[in-house]
């Protein structure tokens, strides 16, 4: 059992894949947070554009 534990802690296969997965997760969290932050600004912008286009069409 001790040999297995030592071999398991020394095994570095798949470490790069885990690092890339963690990095991808961080990027997804950052993008989600930024989209949530800018949601109000984008909503206001599209509301203004829609209103202006509607007024121009009348």
Answer whether 0.85 is exceeded by the pTM: no
- One digit per residue, the tens of pLDDT, for the chain of length 58 reads 888 777 877 777 777 888 899 999 999 999 998 888 888 888 889 999 999 999 988 7
Distance CA 39, CA 10 (A): 46
Q: Which two tokens stand for residue 28?
A: 């997804």
Question: What confidence score (pLDDT) does residue 47 get?
Answer: 93
Q: Which residue has the tokens 């296969």?
A: 13
Cα Rg of the chain (Å, integer): 25
């Amino acid at each position: 059992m001790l040999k297995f534990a030592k071999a398991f802690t020394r095994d570095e296969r798949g470490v790069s894949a885990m690092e890339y997965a963690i990095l991808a997760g961080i990027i997804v969290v950052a993008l989600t947070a930024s989209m949530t932050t800018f949601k109000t600004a984008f909503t206001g912008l599209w509301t203004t554009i829609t209103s202006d286009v509607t007024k121009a069409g009348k």
